[in-house]
Amino acid sequence: MRKLEITLSDEQYEHIQQEIKYGGRTMLEEEIFGGFEIILHVGVPNIYTYLEMNYINKIDLGEVEWSFSKKIQTLKN
């Protein structure tokens, strides 16, 4: 199994956390359930890569670094 790693700045991480808190409060008030999308936009040939989040609002989190890692350990029962 491969792992996709996206590196966020502290500001990007905080922005995501604030959006999740805001979205959770809004959904509780409106008594609805839902989820969010995190979209990695990769330009070919990987010149400009940015992250976007859709929850209550659509937010552009800006440029990010990403990579695929080699196999990760999985637990077997």
Per-residue pLDDT at 76: 67
Q: 46-59: buried (b, 16+ CB within 10 Å) or exposed (e) per residue?
A: eeeeebebebbeeb
Domain boundaries, the chain: 3-66
Segment 11-62, tens digit of pLDDT: 999 999 998 888 888 878 878 787 889 999 998 877 789 999 998 889 999 9
Claim: this prediction has a pTM higher than 0.85: no
> For 68, what's the count of Cα atoms within 13 Å in the CB-facing half-sphere?
4
> Residue 45: what residue type?
P
